[in-house]
Structures are given as structure tokens and as C-alpha cells.
Chains A and B, each alone.
Chain A
Amino acid sequence: MSNQVFEVFVILKRGDPATHVGSVVAPDPVLALHEAKETYVRRTACVSLWVVPRSAITAFAPEDEILFQAAFTRDYRQAGYFTRHERQPVGPAPEPDGQSGETLAVSRGGAVS
């Protein structure tokens, strides 16, 4: 019998996202599901439990995290960027943070007081 690692995901409330909680080792998905239930949700009320063979998961390598970090330097793509600047006096569009932060801070302060 050949065993596999199954990653375990729990959904605590209907509508919640599935959250990774750990893993189990089992020869097939049904046994994996039973072991996952005993090990991870014995004392927890939950609405669903998933087991996924680890080999079925495709993921970026740890060092590739940098790919996602890059997006966050372009903060004008995020909603928070606009709320940060909404007290800005009418004028030219603000520069993205980190490029002319100092002038922005001054003009923001001015608008509040």
C-alpha cells in the first residue's frame, strides 16, 4: 500500500474560505479524510473538511514570493492609495508613495488643519 501526504483544509462556517490546518498521511483520500477529521476537527464544529494530495498542488517556490511583493510597490493599484490621498487639495495627481512622500505629508497636514 503506498501512502501519500494529504494537505487538510477546514471550512468552519458556511461561506468561510477553506483554511489550511496541517497534513495527514494516508493510502487513499477516504482514509485521509477520516484521519483529518480525528486529528484536526475533533473538538471543532465545522461545515466542511477537504483533503488534497500534496502532489496535486502546484505552487511557486518560496523564493518566488518576490513576484507578488513587486505588485505592492505600485500602491496606486490599491484602494488604500485613494483614501490616503482624498484630502489632497485640488491640484496635480499625487505621486505614488515612496517617490515624493515628504511633499505629500506636508500638503496632507495642511489640508487637515
Chain B
Amino acid sequence: MATAPVAAAGVRPPAPEVAEDLEAFIAWLQAGGLVQAGDPMPESYRQHALRIASFQALAELVGVLLFSDWLERVPAFIRKQMITAKVQDEVGHGHVMARVAEDLGGNRLTILEDYLEGRSKLLNVFHYEFQTWPEIAVGAILQNSAAIVQFQSLVKGSYLPYVRALRKILPEESFHFHQARNLIQTLLGQRDPVVRRQLEEGLALWFPRVLAYFGPPEGERFWSNKMVQFRLKMASNEALRQAWLTRIVPVLEQLGLQIPDPRLRRREDGTWEYTEPDWEEVRRVIAGQGPASARRREQVRSIYERNRWLTEMMGIGEQHVKPGF
């Protein structure tokens, strides 16, 4: 029976001799092995799990700045409350992920410091900012649907504390998605040509950015990625991008928005053709040449400095008790 060993590997922690031998550990993961905090694990696995949790914690904490920037400028009180809720959620996700990282030996201050000192990089979408209110609506729906597709894949991964954190996060991302769709509907309902133009301009800006967000196709390199071997990354960049297009294109069409990609079409085999992102440009943006790259880092630096007295008083970043179960 093909499924039997998978189930069997998932219910027990790795045997100590498996956890000491990287190849045996990878084979055990590939057979469905799942890792709990406190289980024996190879150092390399711990570092990769730590990297993915820290990366997501940073994305949640910094990504929210695109939206919190607008809290003072939201044109309707109810929308201001909704955006506040979204901001609270994302910061909460950052905290949940920081705890996953801390139980792997990381530390929430280091996550911010690594970014401030250039040791870690942000996703391309966080190197921009919103210019108009309608642009937020389309930016949010594209970002959220992309995050949902990505998390639904990562939630099948091998590190259980990270998986549990994603299970908590996913329903809230769904709330943000519905919030963004509702905002687009409301704005379209105003039947104001200026608002409609701003929505379409926003879509023209953000559609290619979110296409690029998933990263370039890896081809054969996919299987040599340690994240893949460790079952911390569960699908290729291209597979995720395709899943996202399948999800988001009908939503945008249903809303009556024209998708500004002349090459976008669904092939006979169900896969999507699209305009290839300019990967050189994407690399440049991620390296810190994006329109808001410098400002974003300054924002984080000023928040970090402003709260320093508090993090020091609270002793944040000290070493904590090891996970016991």
C-alpha cells in the first residue's frame, strides 16, 4: 500500500539515528515524516525551518507598513476600522511566526536587525507603496490571494509548529481577501470614471509585481533546493504562480476589471500564458533599488529605535526555555 509508510512516518518523531544522518532524515521526511518542536533534527533542518519562519515574520511585520501608512488617510470611517483590523492581524501573524522562530533558536529582534543591516531581504511587493486609495484595493486583493495560495501550499509542510501557525493565519488572510474584494466592489459602485481609472492603473502596476512575487521558475534546480528536500517548500514557484492565476483571474473578471496583460490566456492544457516578468528588474528591486526600498528601511529603523526603551525594559530577545514537547 503506497500510503501506509507516509502515515506511519508522520505519527512518530524521527529516531535519533535518523536525525543524526542528513540523508536518512531527508528520506524520512520524503516518506511523510513530520517534525515537532523539540524533536531531534539535523542542524541544517533547524536552520532552514528558522529561516522560513523568520522570513515570514519579517514579511508580516514589514508588509503591514504599506497599509498602516494609509490609516490617517482612509476616506471612510468603516474602512479605517477594517484596515486597522487588517494591520492588527498582520502584526499578530508576525508575533506568531516570531515565536516559531524563537523556539528554533531565533530571536524577534534579530529578525528586524538582519533586515536593517541588509542580511535579509524583503519580497519584491514590499519595495513599493500605494499612491491612491483605489490602488490599495487592487494591491491588497492581489497580494492577499497570492499569500493564500502560497500558505495553502506551505501548510502541507513538514515542520508542525510552522504548519499550526499557518492554520491560524489562513482564515484571517481570507478575511483580508474578502475585505479587498468588497472595497473594489464599493469603489466600482460609485460609477466615478476617475476612481475606475485609478483602479485600473493600480491593477496595471500590481499585476506584474504579484506575478513576479512567486519568483522565477526554478526548472531542474527545484529538487536541489534544500527547502524542497526538507519539505519546507512544497511547490515550485511556477506551480504557485499558475495556481494563483487560476484563483485570481476569474475574481477580477467577475468584478469587471480588465487585466492589463495582453498575453494572458489559458492554454488548452489549463496552464496560463502571461507576460514574463522582467527578472533583472525584480532582482534590482529586491536588492534595494525599488521606489520605496529606502523609505521602508527607514520606517522600520525609526520604529525599532522608538521602541528600544520598551524592548530593553521587557528583555525582548533574551534566550528562552527550550520547547519541551
Contact = CB atoms under 8 A, between A and B. Distances in A.
Contact of A3 (B39, B40, B316): B316
B324 A3 contact: no
Interface in A38-58: 38-40, 42-43, 54-55, 57
A27 interface: yes
Contact of A42 (B15, B38, B89): B89
Contact of B103 (A23, A43, A57): A23
B320 interface: yes
A70 B232 CA distance: 31
Given A57-B324, A62-B39, A65-B12, A3 B168 contact: no
Given A21-B168, A39-B92, A39-B96, A63 B103 contact: no
Contact of A62 (B13, B88, B171, B318): B13
Nearest to B40: A62
Interface string A1-37: 1111100000000000000011111010000000100
B40 A22 contact: no
Interface residues of A, number: 26
Contacts of B96: 22, 39-40
B279 interface: no
Interface of B: 12-13, 15-16, 36, 38-40, 85, 88-89, 92, 95-96, 99, 102-103, 164-165, 168, 171-172, 175, 313-316, 318, 320-321, 323-325
Interface of A: 1-5, 21-25, 27, 35, 38-40, 42-43, 54-55, 57, 59, 62-63, 65-66, 69
